[in-house]
Amino acid sequence: MPTYTSQSQSNPQFGRMPTRLTVIAALLAVAGQATADDATPARGGEALLNPVVVTGTPVEADSFDLPFSINAVEMRAAQRGNLGVNASEALSSIPGLVIQNRQNYAQDLQISIRGFGARSAFGVRGVKLITDGIPATNPDGQGQAATFNLDTAERIEVLRGPFSTVYGNHAGGVVQLFSRNGEGPPTLSTRLLGGSWGTTKFGLGLEGESGGVGYVLDASRFRSDGYRDHSKVRRDQAFAKITTRPDDDSTLTFVASSLNQPDTLDPQGLRWETFKRDPRAVEQPALDFNTRKRIDHLQGGVTYERDIGPDTLFVSAYTGKRSVVQYQSIPVGAQANPRQAGGLIDFDRSFSGVGARWTARRAFDSGNLTVTAGIDHDRSRDDRQGYENHVGTTLGVRGNLRRNEINTITSTDPYIQAVWASGPWQWSAGLRHSHVRFKVKDKFIVGANGDDSGSVSYRRTTPALGLTYALTPDINLYASAGAGFETPTLNELSYSAEGGGFNFDLKPSRSQQFEAGIKAFVGDSTRIDAAVFHIRTQDEIVVAGSFGGRTSFRNAAETRRQGVELAIETALTETLTAKGMLTYLDATYRTGFGSGASAVKSGNRMPGIPKVSLFAELAWQPISGVTLAAEALHRGKVFVNDQNNGRPAPAHTLVNLKLAAEQRQGNWTFGQLLRIDNVFDRKHIGSVIVGDANQRFYEPGPTRSWYAGVSASHAF
C-alpha cells in the first residue's frame, strides 16, 4: 500500500501576499539557507497520509483500513505557525468537525461533530474528550477541552460516525489527544509569543530519556486582554509525563497536568443590534455583575501495558480535582423566587476512574482475529453551592446561600470489540453497555425550597458493526452502522420547568447512525476520503423554557442529520502541498413540538450547525526549515434557536497567512513564527449561544490580528 510523507504542514489561500510578510520571508529564507546543509525537518514534522491510529479500534491500525471516518493530526507539524493555545488552531481541517474559539475563555471552545454538541452553551457536550487515556469528559457527558496541553501533544485523533458509540455516553464523536514520550538526549526549550489584543504566551519545557526513563515536563503562561471588552484571561498550565519499562514486555506511564485560570472575565453574548454597532462591546448585565470565572484543575493518572505472548493487558487509573467559582448575570429580581439557586456557582469536584482491557490475537478460519474485552468505571462528586450574586444594591459579589448539595455521578461500562481480517475483507464489531447513575443529596431545605434529593439511572447497550473491502490495493470501500445514546448532563437535569428542583423526568436521547465511504490513494502523493452519513435521533434534548436566567430542558422531536464529507491531501510539487475539506450537513427536526409562539415546526433547521463548511490550505517550503502558508475557512449561516425566528449568524469566509522558520546550529535549534488572521478584516460571528433567552446569541470573532513568536532549544 503506497504511503506519502509530506514535507510540511501549514495552510492555504490564493492571493497576493502582503509586502511586509514577503520581506520577512526572504530574510528568514536567507537565515535558513545559511544552515541548509545542517538543517533537517524538525522531528515529528512529517505527516503520513496513512497514519496509525488507535481511537475506535481494539489495537493500532492504519486509518486507511478502518470502516469509519477518522483523522489524525500530527501536532508538531500542525502547530508550526500556530499559537498553541486552542485545539481549534490545529483541527479546522477535519471534515464533520466544527470547532470554534468563542473568544471567551470563561466558556471553553465550542465543539460539535456531525451536529452533536452544537447546543452546548459552555464547555463540550455530545463529544467524548480523552487525553492520554484519561477522560476529559465527566461521566454525565460535559467536558473541558481547555485541559488539553497542546505544547506537549504528539497527535490528536478525531473519530466520527457509528463507531463513536463504542465509547458510551455522549460519544457523538471522539477527540483524543496523545502526548509525546520522552526520547533522546535531554533537551531544554523555551518559547515566547506576542500579538494583537495584548496576547502573550511564555513556555518552558524539558524532555528526553535517561537510564531507560523517558520524561516530558512543561509549563506555560498565556495572557490576553481579549478581542472583546471584558474578556481578559490568564491561563497557567503544567504537565509531566514519565515513561518507564519495568521489563522488555511492559511499559509503565505516569501523567499529571494542571490548569489554573484566576478570574477569567466573561463577556457573554451580544444582541444583533449591539453586534452591528460594535462587535467588541459587552451587554450591560455582564458589566453590572462583573461576570467572571475561576478554574483550578489538577489530574493525574497511571497506565500499565504488558505483552503476554500474542496478547496484551492494559490497566489504567486516574484521579483529580476541579474547582470552579462563576459569577453570572442572573437578575436580582429573578432571585426572589425561593427555589432559585442564585447567581454565583461554587463547586469542588473530585473525580476518578479505573479501566482494564485484554486484547487477544489469534488465527481464525482463513484470517486473523483480534478481540478486546474490557471495563471502565468513572466517578465524579461535586460539593456544589449557589449564592446570590449581590449584597443589597452591590452587584457581582457573594451574597446569601441559595443552594447546597452533593452531586454524585457514576458510570460503569463493560465492552467488547473484535476485528477479523481475511483477504480483501475486514469485519469490525463493537458492543458496550453503559450504566450512568445520578444522585443528588440536597442540604439546603429552607421554606418553600423543599428537599430536591433523589437519584436516576440510565442504561443502554450500544452496538456498532463495520465492513471494509479492498477493491484494489489503493482503494478501500467501507460501511458501518451503530446505535448511541446521550444522557442529560448534570446542568440539564438541574432545573425543572416548574422553576426549581431537579428534572428527573428527563430521558436520554437515542440515535441510529449509518455511514458509507471510500478511501483512496491517487499515485504516491494524494489521498482522498469521502463519506456519506445518516443519523436519526429520538428524544432529542431541547430547551423547554428560560426564566430568571435559568434554562430548563425537555425531550421532544425526532431529528435527522445527513450529509457528505470530503477530504483531500496532496503534494503538488516537492515543495508545494495542499489539502482541503468539505462538509455538507443537513440537520433538521423531523417532528414538530411545542405550542404557540414557541412552536418548533417539522423541517426547522437545528440551531448551531452550519450546513456547509469548507477549508483549504496551501503550503510552500522554498528551502528546508522555512514554510509559507495560507488557509481559507468558510462557515455557512447558523440558526440560533429551535424556532428559526432569531436572525441567523451570517455565513463568512476568513483567510489567514502564516510563516514558520527553523534553523539548527550544533545542539541549538531556533524557531520563528509570524501569522496574520482574518487578513481581509471580515466582520463576522465566530460562534453562537443556542436558544439564549435574552437573545444574546452572538459571539463575534476578531478582526485582523497578528502574532509573532520565537523559540529556542538546546540538546545536552
Write down the pLDDT at residue 495.
73
User: What's the DSSP call for residue 34?
Assistant: H
Res. 2: pLDDT tops 60: no
Number of domains in the chain: 1
Distance CA 313, CA 317 (A): 14
Chain position carrying cell 484519561: 134
> At 552, is the pLDDT very low, low, confident or very high (cuts 50, 70, 90)?
confident
> What is the per-residue pLDDT across 580-602, written as a single tens digit (0 to 9) for each?
999 999 999 999 987 666 789 99
Gap between the Cα atoms of 92 and 110, Å rounded: 12
Contacts of 543 (CB under 8 A, 6+ apart): 551, 552, 553, 554, 642, 690, 691
Of 715, 712, 670, the residue nearest 183 (C-alpha): 715
Cα–Cα distances in angstroms (integers) from residue 593 to residues 81, 113, 451, 543, 557, in the given order: 47, 25, 31, 11, 6
Residue 546 has pLDDT above 70, yes or no: no
pLDDT at 10 over 80: no
Query: DSSP of 396-433, one letter per residue?
Result: SS--SEEEEEEEEEEEEEEEEEEEEEETTEEEEEEEEE
Instruction: Say yes or no to pLDDT of 314 above 70.
Output: yes
Cα separation, 605 vs 559, in Å, equals 10
Q: What is the dihedral of CA 276, 282, 286, 291, to 10 degrees?
A: 130
Alpha carbon of 23 to those of 19, 28, 36, 618, 708: distances in Å?
Answer: 6, 9, 19, 19, 15
Average pLDDT, integer, range 148-169: 94
Question: What local confidence, expressed as pLDDT, does residue 266 receive?
Answer: 96
Closest by CA to 120, choosing from 432, 418, 543, is 543
Report how far residue 583's alpha carbon sits from residue 463's, in angstroms, rounded to the nearest whole number: 26
Q: What is the pLDDT of residue 671?
A: 96
What does the alpha-carbon distance between residue 97 and residue 156 come to, in Å, rounded to a whole number? 13
The percent of residues above 70 in pLDDT, for the chain, comes to 91
What three-state secondary structure class fits 65? helix
- Whether the model clears a pTM of 0.85, i.e. scores above it, the answer is yes
CB 297 within 8 A of CB 134: no
Higher pLDDT: 266 or 598? It is: 266
Helix runs in 35-87, H state only? 75-78
Please tell me the least confidently modeled range out of 22-31, 57-66, 192-201.
Answer: 22-31
Q: What is the mean pLDDT of the chain?
A: 89
Specify the CATH number for the domain of residue 389.
2.40.170.20
Share of the chain above pLDDT 90, in %: 77
Please name every residue paired with 137 in a beta bridge, in sequence order, or none if there are none: 143
Strands (E) across 449-525 are located at 454-472, 475-486, 509-522
Q: Which band of pLDDT confidence, cut at 50, 70 and 90, is reported for residue 172?
A: confident
* Short-list 10, 76, 7, CA closest to 44: 76
Across 150-249, the runs of DSSP E, i.e. the strands, are 153-160, 173-179, 187-195, 199-210, 213-224, 233-247
Predicted confidence (pLDDT) at residue 156 exceeds the cutoff of 80: yes
pLDDT at residue 12 tops 90: no
Q: Mean pLDDT throughout 184-197?
A: 96
Apex 674 CA angle, 107 and 30, nearest 5: 160
pLDDT, tens only, 335-389: 888 888 899 999 999 999 999 999 999 999 889 999 999 999 999 999 999 999 9
Rounded distance between C-alpha atoms, residue 598 and residue 545, angstroms: 9
Amino acid at 569: E
CB 509 within 8 A of CB 165: no
> In terms of residues, how long is the chain?
716
Kindly report, residue by residue over 606-652, the tens digit of the pLDDT.
Answer: 999 999 999 999 999 999 999 999 999 999 999 999 999 999 999 99
d(CA 32, CA 625): 6
Query: Do 320 and 297 meet the contact criterion of CB atoms below 8 Å apart?
Result: yes
Least confident range from 275-279, 414-418, 505-509: namely: 505-509
**Which of 17, 2, 6, 63 is CA-nearest to residue 629?**
17
Q: Which domain holds residue 570?
A: 5-715
Residues 6+ apart with CB under 8 A from 519: 63, 64, 475, 476, 478, 527, 528, 529
Residue 250: in which H helix or E strand, if any? strand 250-265
What is the phi/psi pair of residue 603, to 5°? 100, -10
φ, ψ dihedrals at 197, nearest 5°? 65, 30
Residues whose CB falls within 8 Å of the CB of residue 573, separated by 6 or more in sequence, listed in order: none
Do 519 and 53 contact (CB within 8 A), yes or no? no
Longest dimension (CA), the chain: 79
Residue 521 contacts residue 49 (beta carbons within 8 Å)? yes
Cell of 265: 472575565
Q: Is the pLDDT of residue 14 over 50?
A: no
Helix/strand/coil for 529: strand
Q: How far apart are CA 529 and CA 230, in angstroms?
A: 42
Which H or E run contains 38?
Answer: none
Q: Are 70 and 63 in contact (CB under 8 A)?
A: yes
